[in-house]
Amino acid sequence: MRTNPQSLSLNMQEPFDIFIGLTTYSVFPEEDNTFTIFKEGKEYIHIQKDTEGVWLKLDYETDLPIFDEDPEVNEIGRQINLHQAD
How far is 15 from 34, CA to CA, in rounded Å?
A: 12
What's the pLDDT score for residue 12?
65
What's the pLDDT score for residue 1?
42
In this structure, are strands 42-49 and 55-58 parallel, antiparallel, or unpaired? antiparallel
79: number of Cβ within 10 Å: 17
What's the pLDDT score for residue 53?
81
In this structure, are strands 16-20 and 34-39 parallel, antiparallel, or unpaired? unpaired
CA angle (35 as vertex; 30, 37 as ends), nearest 5: 130
pLDDT tens for the chain, 86 residues long, are 444 444 344 456 899 999 999 999 999 999 989 999 999 999 999 999 998 789 999 999 999 999 998 999 999 999 999 998 88
Q: What is the pTM of this model?
A: 0.82
Domain ranges of the chain: 5-85
